[in-house]
Amino acid sequence: MGLNITQKIIKSHLVSGEMVPGKEIGIKIDQTLTQDATGTMAYLQFRAMDIPTVKTQLSVSYVDHNTLQSDFKNADDHRFLQTVASKHGIYFSKPGNGICHQVHLERFGKPAKTLLGSDSHTPTGGGIGMLAIGAGGLDVAVAMAGQPFYLPMPKIVRVELKNSLKPWVSAKDVILHLLSLISVKGGVNKIMEYGGEGVTTLSVPERATITNMGAELGATTSIFPSDNNTKKFLEAQGRLKDFTPLTSDSDATYDEVIVINLAELEPLAACPHSPDNIMPIKDLDLTVNQVVIGSCTNSSYTDMKRISEILKGKKVHPEVSLAIAPGSRQVLEMLARDGSLANLISAGARILESACGPCIGMGQAPNSGGITLRTFNRNFEGRSGTKDASVYLVSPETAAASALSSKITDPRTLGAYIPVNMPEKYLLDDSMILAPSNQPEKVTVVLGPNIKPVPIGEPLKSQMELPISIKVGDNITTDHIMPAGAKVLPFRSNIPAISEFVFSAIDPGFSNRSKELGQSIIIGGQNYGQGSSREHAALAPMYLGVRVVIAKSFARIHKANLVNFGILPLEFKDPADFDFLEQNDTLLLDNLLTDLRGGTVNVTNRRTGRNIELTVDLSPRQLDVIEKGGLLAFTKAKA
């Protein structure tokens, strides 16, 4: 029996386990990436392991999130990241060089390699044929130390693409359509592998848009073949030597198959406040206040070039604020050199730094009650920086058409389609990517006053009696647990300070209450922890004394992060038991260490006397990690 693309990569990198869905496997990691919002803590964790040099083939540290330097904190973090990279064998992409996923695709990604990144949109690399997976920063630190990355072997779903897209329908509409089919939970513990004749009609940047936003499916990752289009892209980037052909065998099998006829798709939007709340553009009647084009989903040169051509010779509607953020310095300079940037400026666009910016609430918050169209990947409530704003996720073409009219506008009304060809050669200038020092012993790592030591979790006890500090519903995101934005992000390297903001968007009293309780339990609904890979959504609650999270189900990355920081994730055997628990109830967990190994934990509600049965969906290795107090303590003990 033949192998599919995913199986080929996993087989060649398999360190432990079997490729049986649901069974834990360990895979060797070739490359890692971090960004500054997660990287500072990841490198503090790496340094705590006392390993002098990273053991991966390539590791890159990017600065693209905390680029707003309103005081010393972010600048100090950037200085720490640059010095730690220089000392420990890591490449450093300076602020302004671009968004990590866009730059990595351009300059470092290699087909058939594994990539682990401390950002949930690391699967962007799947557009170039990489097995690229998002994870918490501690997982990345451990991978840099040469250890395998562990995960449940995912099911592999073939997404069969037929025919080709019609004019003015884009790659963004493909992934929005898939979200409408299977929802934000439909990809959990699955890898979406794209195939079919429709694949050959999509460029690498278009494929990367689709794999990037596959994170919103809850998928482990998404991947495309490495074919002639991949070869052309790498050759244009001056990296032909990095090309490796990679396709599935003709007799490869899959756990599921989804068929999408590209010719039947139309322009779509994800409506507030979830990426899977999909409607056709033609069915929406909205007055638009703001349009923002960019993010790691839609900031490639071809995206920006088409926007420039749409806006050329026209003016943005006076009632609309249009902001554009090219994804990398390469993209920005190419736009400047070919006249496209002048078109954007002349039309009235505000040109932003090549960084994540508004996508993580770092500037460009819309007006109160405003309607904003964004080419981003997430539209969670409040993520834009304005709690009562309505965020719609759309393609660049829809965004540009709407900026001109001040109404959400189907781009098919623009007239003749404007084709944009892939460049035969990209502008190559890596001067803002710094190689590590060849004399690391002479490099001093600089820590600013806002950078605090890494908290270490406590070993798990067999008997605990813990109060419930908060009870929340379904689809609680990491933005709910640990907000982003200009106010919070500067404290990413200061856990005592950032812990003050845990659950602040939905329960401002949570932090103080947790401190008063000492140790506690969180109760959650379905898909608890969906969204970003930010490990601070587990690390900060651990610092506040959270020992257990009981939920109906968990998002993959967040569940792994809970384990990494010694917080026990348990699931209701009967979801109806969720209704019999209230905030401030006290739960007794008795004989816990023995019960965990049996796969079932019983807890007693002290208020009602009711016994509740919980399931344990953790591997023996994860149980060892939990019992030691987290992955850092476990790794140090193992070493």
pLDDT, tens only, 121-176: 999 999 999 999 999 999 999 999 999 999 999 999 999 999 999 999 999 999 99
Rounded CA-CA distance 306/424 in Å is 16
**Residue 639: its pLDDT value, please?**
59
- Stretch 237-247: mean pLDDT: 98
**Residue 287: its pLDDT value, please?**
97
Rounded CA-CA distance 201/409 in Å is 25
Rounded CA-CA distance 481/501 in Å is 8
- Stretch 505-523: mean pLDDT: 96
Half-sphere exposure of residue 10, counting CA atoms within 13 Å on the CB side? 27
Q: Which residue has the higher pLDDT, 486 or 60?
A: 60
Four-point Cα dihedral 219, 484, 332, 317, nearest 10? 100
Question: What does pTM read for this prediction?
Answer: 0.93
pLDDT of residue 559 exceeding 80, the answer is: yes
- Stretch 382-388: mean pLDDT: 91
**Residue 589: its pLDDT value, please?**
95
pLDDT, tens only, 617-631: 999 999 999 999 999
323 in Cβ contact with 364 (< 8 Å): yes
pLDDT of residue 383 exceeding 80, the answer is: yes
Report how far apart, in Å, the C-alpha atoms of 147 and of each of 15, 56, 103, 120, 197 are: 10, 9, 25, 20, 38
The SS3 of residue 365 is coil
- Of 497, 462, 478, 508, nearest in space to 601 by CA: 462
Token duo for residue 555: 């998002």
> H or E segment at 223?
strand 221-223
**Residue 69: its pLDDT value, please?**
86
pLDDT, tens only, 77-107: 999 999 999 999 999 999 999 999 999 999 9
- Please state, as a whole number, how many other Cβ atoms lie within 10 Å of the Cβ of residue 21: 12
DSSP 366-421: PPTT-EEEESSS---TTTTS-TT-EEEE--HHHHHHHHHHSB---GGGG-S----P
DSSP 32-67: EEEEHHHHHHHHHHHHHTT-SS--SSEEEEE--SS-
Q: How confident is the model at residue 450 (pLDDT cuts 50, 70, 90)?
A: very high
Q: How confident is the model at residue 457 (pLDDT cuts 50, 70, 90)?
A: confident
pLDDT of residue 316 exceeding 80, the answer is: yes
320 in Cβ contact with 293 (< 8 Å): no
Rounded CA-CA distance 80/159 in Å is 42
Four-point Cα dihedral 114, 120, 126, 127, nearest 10? -140
What proportions of the chain, in percent to the nearest 5, are helix, strand and coil? 35, 20, 45
Residue 325 class from Cβ within 10 Å (0-12 exposed, 13-18 middle, 19+ buried)? buried
Residue 439 class from Cβ within 10 Å (0-12 exposed, 13-18 middle, 19+ buried)? exposed
Q: What angle (nearest 5°) sits at the alpha carbon of residue 144, between those of residues 140 and 150?
A: 50
Rounded CA-CA distance 144/57 in Å is 9
116 in Cβ contact with 29 (< 8 Å): yes
Q: Rounded to the nearest 5°, which phi and psi values hold at 547?
A: -105, -30
The per-residue b/e assignment along 581-591, b for 16 or more CB within 10 angstroms, e otherwise, is beeebebebee
Token duo for residue 184: 């934000």
CA 399 to chain CA mean position, Å: 23
Q: Which domains does the chain have, with CATH numbers?
A: 5-264 (3.30.499.10), 268-413 (3.30.499.10), 464-638 (3.20.19.10)
- Stretch 296-300: mean pLDDT: 97
Helix ranges (DSSP H) in 59-117: 72-88, 100-107
pLDDT of residue 362 exceeding 90, the answer is: no
pLDDT, tens only, 404-418: 999 999 999 999 999
Report how far apart, in Å, the C-alpha atoms of 596 and of each of 160, 206, 457 are: 41, 45, 18
Sign, CA dihedral 73-510-503-609, equals positive
For the chain, give the percent of residues with pLDDT over 70: 100
Q: Just list the catalytic residues.
A: 64-65, 119, 378, 532, 534
Mean pLDDT score across all residues of the chain = 96
DSSP 467-530: EEEEE--TT-BHHHHS--STTTGGGTT-HHHHGGGTTTTT-TTHHHHHHHHSSEEEEE-TTBTB
